């Protein structure tokens, strides 16, 4: 066990981080297994989302994430699963920003 106070804190924070990381890894593996068990657009989306979350949290390398997503897409294509159509948001109308009236200040008195 460490003796220095900062080293003790590093042990505590490393333990918390490892718990968080293992949870994300577990969710990632489970979602990929679910997709392989029943390939559909829904399970593919969930698996890709889990991969993206793990990548965002620096739990897996970006090349590994790309490789996993490529394999998911190839498996989905072989299984005949159609990708889900992405819902597009209607374009918002651009409004001109309202101009605020500028108040003129009196010069400072000396």
Domain count for the chain: 1
Token pair recorded at residue 107: 């010069």
- Percent of the chain having pLDDT more than 70? 89
**Distance, CA of 3 to CA of 38 (rounded, Å):** 52
**pLDDT for 7-61, tens place per residue?**
999 999 999 999 999 999 999 999 999 999 998 999 999 999 999 999 999 999 9
Q: Say if 49 falls within a structural domain.
A: yes
**Distance, CA of 34 to CA of 55 (rounded, Å):** 19
Q: Say if 101 falls within a structural domain.
A: no
Range of the domain at 78: 25-84
Q: Say if 62 falls within a structural domain.
A: yes
Residue 79: pLDDT band (50, 70, 90) is confident
Angle 92-93-95 from CA coordinates, rounded to 5°: 125
| Short-list 60, 31, 58, CA closest to 44 | 31
The model's pTM: 0.68
């Amino acid at each position: 066990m460490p003796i220095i106070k900062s080293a003790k804190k590093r042990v505590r924070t490393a333990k918390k981080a490892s718990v968080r990381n293992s949870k994300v890894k577990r969710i990632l593996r489970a979602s990929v297994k679910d997709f392989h068990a029943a390939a559909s657009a829904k399970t593919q989306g969930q698996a890709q989302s889990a991969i993206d979350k793990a990548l965002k949290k620096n739990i897996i390398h970006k090349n590994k994430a790309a490789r996993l997503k490529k394999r998911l897409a190839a498996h989905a294509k072989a299984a005949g699963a159609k990708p889900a159509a992405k819902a597009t948001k209607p374009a918002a109308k651009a409004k001109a920003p309202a101009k605020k009236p500028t108040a003129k200040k009196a010069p400072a008195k000396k």
